Structure 1
Amino acid sequence: MKTTPLRSRVSVMLTLGLVVALFLAACGPIDEAPLPPSTPWGQRATPEPTQPEPGQEIGQDAAPEPAQPETGQDSTTALHAGAGQEMAPEGQATAPAGEPAPPSQSPASYTPDVSFTLETAIADGRLAFVGVGGTIDGVVNPTLEVALGQVVQVTLINGDGALHDVAFPEFNAQSDQVMRQGASTTAVFRADQEGEFFYFCTIPGHRQAGMEGLLVVGGDAAQPEPEGENIVRDPADVPPPVGDRAPQTISVELEAVELEGRLADGATYSYWTFDGTVPGPFLRVRVGDTVELSLRNMDDSLMIHSIDLHAVTGPGGGAELTQVPPGDEKSFTFQALNPGLYVYHCATPMVANHITNGMYGLILVEPEGGLPPVDREFYVMQGEIYTEAPYGRHGHQDFSVEKLLDEQPEYVLLNGAVGALTEVSPLRANTGETVRIFFGVGGPNLASSFHVIGEIMDRVYHEGSLTAAPLTDVQTTLVPPGGAAMIEFELEVPGRYILVDHALSRLERGLVGFLIVEGDDNPEVFRSGGAE
């Protein structure tokens, strides 16, 4: 029988108990008053002269008064009472009263504006929250800075095996309690008051033992300086329709470019690309066209690169003829025999490595007579990135072949980077317009359940087929790695529509885009309140 896990757990619990006991003994007696159900969050109940009764339900105690920190204490619990702060009983410094945000905002939204991850731990002999990822990585009881009105998501990871939670009382937000090491939970709220506010663990004694930090709401939240080159392909960067013309000879010139690109705020990655963006250029020809394609590999590249176009009839889709060493150039010619929307990608071993690093794109072969006209066209592709460090870490991110082979990406993205289609280049259109999205999955491993939150797809040309009748009135369309779909719908109502893979956990890996629609309200289709 294995007893190591039990001994380890007992050891952790004894250590935590000793830490709390020693700290509370040093602080002296502490009166903890429970929050009765009628007490609003953020307001302290009147203290009772007696200690809580044995067996009191865990998590129902009011926020206890922390002991005064020692001089030189290195954590946010060492906050002192300064200008604009009120002094609570026993000299506790409380955060200034908040300024309310505009009342029109809802308590949350479909996607958070800012996310933080905290892990419970013992730091310097005290209980603590420790930041994970981003600018707070490794910081004990980090100060969380957000802008007024932002929706905030806080993930709590249990790192020590004791019972914990995290609460933001002034925002009526408290996480579930987590006990087992490795377990996690989240809390979400809108930062609708300006000022400084404490967050803390509500388990009795834990706040006094060190589990307290500061949330600062107001102004612009501090962001790391952008690093690396912008590799995002603008989704509106689509060549004009071919139209009703005769077949002709088309020349296509591509470059294989390796560069240090911006993966996320504060994080870079070594991308391999076609023409310096992810995805590569949108190629557009007509059925029957003769295409002369040349691929040049830049002088400063380290790798051999190539191209396999799924629209090509011939060995390797062209990859057999385009294995190009650094500083060299190769070309081949093909005839576009079949209309459709097709993926292209690098096909040099390890092929999956070249694809995950950004070497994929779409080629559209329009049918005879061209496509029906629409008001706007967009180009969106989904892909994965496999980094050694977890999602959200700062600095240069190294590639992990182990995670690639295990098909466990840290990042799942639209157009190559976190925020590509939300902050860098969101899609934009107007009410009354019909939009067309050319959507593809570079992969290399994950299929996509593509969905536009708040819209129904009027027509979906499934599997990229343009000769079969489209599916109509579609909520979600499945696109495999190396596959594509052409999607069309009319915009009736203004607002922000969200592009997602409906495997919605991937939102937490960076996969989200915005379609921002402007125009007059349409109360016949969508409005608040009941029927008139």
Structure 2
Amino acid sequence: MTYPQLNRRHVLQAIGATGAVAVAGCLGGDAQGSSTDGNEPAAEDDGLPAAKSVDVERIARDPTDIPEPVDWDEPREHDVTIRTERVTAEIEPGVTFEYMTFEGQVPGPMLRVRRGDRVNLTFDVPDDLNMAAHNMDFHAVYGPGGGANATTIAPGDDPAQLSFTADYAGVFIYHCAIPNMDQHISSGMFGSILVEPEDGLPEVDNEFYLGQHEIYTDGDLGEKGHHGFDFDAMLKEEPTYVVFNGQAYGFTPDGGVPMEATTGETARVYFANGGPNLLSSWHAIGNVWSRFYRDGDLLTAPDRNVETAPVAPGTTAAAEMEFPVPGPVKIVDHALTRAARRGALGIIDVTGEPTRDIYDENP
């Protein structure tokens, strides 16, 4: 195993000066184990195949791509169509991978409804860019497989139809649940459905949507080229990458576009841990979760001023924070090797003047 060369600037940006001290001394196929699902050759001993051309410029879903808050007070119906799409994209620059997705990005689109609303779902697995059967298991749905039984279809089949009432208020995960569900979730097939309580949610200035998952590949961390899927690594629960929204460091200055907020504002972050295997120790460096909705529970009074919270695979959480002073707030998995080396970090870039005299870098 080779390790990526991390310079001081990279690590400082990744986990902040305090966290960097702890790691400074370290700087300097198919179910039988073939790559992908039998459609790509295994990597040769002399290295990976060359990186492939990408189908999408950016696999990471924009964390602000969230439906508007519920503003209705009577049940209504929602007609929703979700299509699966298999796309090649970069995990990080020069490293390509074939993702399985709902609607072309990771995580799948957030659905937002009010408790008591009716959702009429059309689920489609088109012929093009799909090579396996898929379905959708909604943890918010009462019914066989959370809807997975009714939505299991193969490429080119007629779209599946499903109608359900959103009876449970909360934030819930959905994911593909065919027999190879662990591979499909690892490859990007998960998302969230937000079912607001009848009285709605407290108003905030910003909302962000993040999904963590592990990617198991037949290449080394940071190795340039096209990475196939590695079932052996998944069985050992030894991921190559642990990322937010499908991309390593996708919401940092180096890796893409940071999230943004202004001093004096508030934010709510919806966080889904797709897994398929690892618990996330969800933490905000330089802030706390001032109100934490554990396990996506929106009915119980939230926990207050939480530093680090476990989010199990197949679980969501929601959390709110304030921004009294400017500066980067780093959202990480506090299993810090994942943040410093494997990609599980995103930054909220907070600008503006301090709103309170609580922090001074130059006293």
Q: Same fold (TM over 0.5)?
A: yes
- Which residue number in structure 2 is paired with residue 280 of structure 1? 108
Q: CA deviation at 1:152?
A: 5.5
Q: How does 1:333-412 map to 2 (within 5 A)?
A: 333-412=163-242
Q: CA deviation at 1:525?
A: 1.1
Which amino acid is 1:525 matched to? I
Q: Deviations over 1:331-372 (max 9, x none)?
A: 111111110000000011211011001000000000002111
Task: Say whether residues 1:186 and 2:24 are aligned partners.
Answer: no
Q: CA deviation at 1:489?
A: 1.2
Distance across 1 between alignment mates of 2:114 and 2:181: 28
Distance across 1 between alignment mates of 2:63 and 2:225: 27
Q: How does 1:17-166 map to 2 (within 5 A)?
A: 132=2, 151=9
- Which residue number in structure 2 is paired with residue 505 of structure 1? 337
TM-score (norm 2): 0.85
Task: Say whether residues 1:310 and 2:146 are aligned partners.
Answer: no
Aligned partner of residue 149 in structure 2, secondary structure: helix
Q: CA deviation at 1:425?
A: 3.1
- Which residue number in structure 2 is paired with residue 198 of structure 1? none
Q: CA deviation at 1:244?
A: 4.0
Task: Say whether residues 1:290 and 2:115 are aligned partners.
Answer: no
Task: Say whether residues 1:462 and 2:290 are aligned partners.
Answer: no
Distance across 2 between alignment mates of 1:408 and 1:331: 37
- Which residue number in structure 1 is paired with residue 83 of structure 2? 255
Which amino acid is 1:493 matched to? V
Distance across 2 between alignment mates of 1:521 and 1:152: 27
Which amino acid is 1:304 matched to? A
Distance across 2 between alignment mates of 1:133 and 1:485: 32
Q: Deviations over 1:39-79 (max 9, x none)?
A: xxxxxxxxxxxxxxxxxxxxxxxxxxxxxxxxxxxxxxxxx
C-alpha spacing 1:396/1:225, structure 2 compared with 1 (3 Å): closer
Which amino acid is 2:347 matched to? F
C-alpha spacing 1:152/1:494, structure 2 compared with 1 (3 Å): closer
Structure 1 residue runs without a partner (length 5+): 1-118, 120-131, 137-143, 154-174, 177-184, 188-223
Which amino acid is 2:309 matched to? T
Distance across 1 between alignment mates of 2:257 and 2:162: 33
C-alpha spacing 1:152/1:432, structure 2 compared with 1 (3 Å): closer
Aligned partner of residue 438 in structure 1, secondary structure: strand
Distance across 2 between alignment mates of 1:186 and 1:226: 30
C-alpha spacing 1:152/1:460, structure 2 compared with 1 (3 Å): closer
Q: CA deviation at 1:457?
A: 1.2
Q: CA deviation at 1:427?
A: 1.0
- Which residue number in structure 2 is paired with residue 90 of structure 1? none
- Which residue number in structure 1 is paired with residue 69 of structure 2? 241
User: Does the 8 A contact of 2:52 with 2:226 survive in 1?
Assistant: no
C-alpha spacing 1:451/1:226, structure 2 compared with 1 (3 Å): farther
User: Does the 8 A contact of 1:380 with 1:438 survive in 2?
Assistant: yes
User: Does the 8 A contact of 1:386 with 1:408 survive in 2?
Assistant: yes
Distance across 2 between alignment mates of 1:269 and 1:298: 20
Q: CA deviation at 1:529?
A: 3.9
By relative contact order (CA 8 Å, sep 6+), the higher-ranking structure is 2
User: Does the 8 A contact of 1:227 with 1:266 survive in 2?
Assistant: no
Aligned partner of residue 412 in structure 1, secondary structure: strand
User: Does the 8 A contact of 1:459 with 1:471 survive in 2?
Assistant: yes
Aligned partner of residue 295 in structure 2, secondary structure: helix
Q: Deviations over 1:127-146 (max 9, x none)?
A: xxxxx577x9xxxxxxx9x8
C-alpha spacing 1:366/1:529, structure 2 compared with 1 (3 Å): same
Which amino acid is 1:407 matched to? E
Distance across 1 between alignment mates of 2:10 and 2:294: 37
Distance across 2 between alignment mates of 1:226 and 1:373: 44
Q: CA deviation at 1:424?
A: 2.2
Distance across 2 between alignment mates of 1:225 and 1:269: 8
Distance across 1 between alignment mates of 2:296 and 2:310: 11
Distance across 2 between alignment mates of 1:265 and 1:453: 25
User: Does the 8 A contact of 1:342 with 1:484 survive in 2?
Assistant: yes
Distance across 1 between alignment mates of 2:256 and 2:124: 28
Distance across 2 between alignment mates of 1:343 and 1:244: 23
Which amino acid is 2:9 matched to? V
Q: Deviations over 1:118-163 (max 9, x none)?
A: x9xxxxxxxxxxxx577x9xxxxxxx9x8xxx7266xxxxxxxxxx
Distance across 2 between alignment mates of 1:371 and 1:523: 26
TM-score (norm 1): 0.58
User: Does the 8 A contact of 1:244 with 1:370 survive in 2?
Assistant: no
Distance across 2 between alignment mates of 1:227 and 1:341: 36
Q: RMSD in angstroms over aligned alpha carbons?
A: 2.1
Distance across 2 between alignment mates of 1:152 and 1:464: 33
C-alpha spacing 1:397/1:226, structure 2 compared with 1 (3 Å): closer
- Which residue number in structure 2 is paired with residue 321 of structure 1? 150
Q: CA deviation at 1:282?
A: 0.6
C-alpha spacing 1:432/1:226, structure 2 compared with 1 (3 Å): farther
Which amino acid is 1:504 matched to? L
Aligned partner of residue 348 in structure 1, secondary structure: coil
- Which residue number in structure 2 is paired with residue 494 of structure 1? 326
Q: What is the aligned residue count?
A: 323
Task: Say whether residues 1:435 and 2:267 are aligned partners.
Answer: yes
Distance across 2 between alignment mates of 1:288 and 1:521: 42
Q: CA deviation at 1:186?
A: 2.3
Q: CA deviation at 1:327?
A: 1.9
Which amino acid is 2:262 matched to? N
Which amino acid is 1:459 matched to? R
User: Does the 8 A contact of 2:51 with 2:95 survive in 1?
Assistant: no
Percent pairwise identity = 42
Q: CA deviation at 1:227?
A: 5.0
- Which residue number in structure 2 is paired with residue 515 of structure 1? 348
Which amino acid is 1:364 matched to? L
